[in-house]
Chains A and B, each alone.
Chain A
Amino acid sequence: MKFDILQKLKEILTKIKSKLRSYFVSFAAIVIFFAIFSFGVNFFSYFDPLTFCYIGIENDFLGGNQKTVKKAIVQLKRADIQSYKTLCTYVDTIVEEHCRASDPRVSGKEIGTYEPGCYIRGSKIINLIPTKEDDQFVINQRSITIRKYANFSKNFWENRQDHTPGINLRF
């Protein structure tokens, strides 16, 4: 009788042990997958798994520097968490590209080309002027520019009025 109880107890413990092992293996697999996924995504864009903040970065391979864009975002996160949250909500892409706010064939002048950045209304896209330089001044400048245009995007999406009848303007 006593032997049976012990035998059953042993069976139950063995089952629990094997289940725990399978849970642990699954958990470890998920963690490894997530780590590889985060690393892969961060290679081409900015992804913060803790806040689920994803921002695509389209960099200028010849004249730009993706590293300083990422460093500027990290700096913004450390310095101003509210602006960082605004950035994560209202910006989905940062493009290293000159802004073009006019057609020089009409106005005779280029507007925005040498500005540090701009916001494209109707999107969640910010442009940053391309630069290969990698120093603290550039990172500060980019951080300030990103914060400014993230707020422009927030203002656009919070204040826009849907006045196109018959068209679904849900974003």
Chain B
Amino acid sequence: MELSNFNIKRSIKILKYGSPSDYQDFCRLVDTIDANVDCGGWEGGCYRGGKTIAVSTAQGTVSWTVAIIVHETCHAKGFGETECYAAGDRILGTIVEI
């Protein structure tokens, strides 16, 4: 389990302001985040079914955590890996400004 949920909370806040449409999907489709490392390791996540996702990104950047949340929310919409990797890639391109 992550020592602190700060990274996840901060990422949800970034999603809220950085991509409001993805935030709306997240709020509609997810009601529980499991922060244990058993599924995502130190830098990943899982869709657990229902409205639960696993996000474990203690080693990841804050933008990567946002991408994991969007990726798993995409699974909650019923899409497969290809579409959901693309969703994660899209959100990274949206929120990371170079």
Interface, chain A (partner B; CB < 8 A): 95, 97-103, 105-107, 111-112, 115, 118-123, 125, 127, 149, 152, 156, 160, 162-164, 167, 169, 171
Tally the A-B contacts, defined by beta carbons under 8 Å: 94
Interface, chain B (partner A; CB < 8 A): 10, 13-21, 23-24, 61-64, 67, 85-86, 88-89, 92-98
Docked-complex contact A122 and B63, CB < 8 angstroms: no
A119 to B13, CA, bound (A): 15
- Assuming the contacts A100-B63, A101-B92, A120-B63, asked whether A115 and B98 have C-beta atoms less than 8 A apart, the reply is yes
- Assuming the contacts A103-B85, A121-B18, A123-B13, asked whether A95 and B62 have C-beta atoms less than 8 A apart, the reply is yes
How distant is A110 from chain B, measured CB to nearest CB, in Å?
Answer: 10
B contacts with A: majority SS: helix
Docked-complex contact A98 and B88, CB < 8 angstroms: no
Docked-complex contact A164 and B20, CB < 8 angstroms: yes
A-B contact pairs, 30 of them (CB 8 A): A97-B61, A100-B64, A101-B63, A103-B67, A103-B85, A103-B88, A105-B85, A106-B85, A111-B93, A112-B96, A112-B98, A115-B98, A118-B98, A119-B97, A120-B14, A120-B62, A121-B96, A122-B13, A122-B15, A122-B16, A122-B17, A122-B18, A122-B19, A123-B10, A123-B14, A123-B18, A149-B97, A156-B97, A160-B17, A164-B21
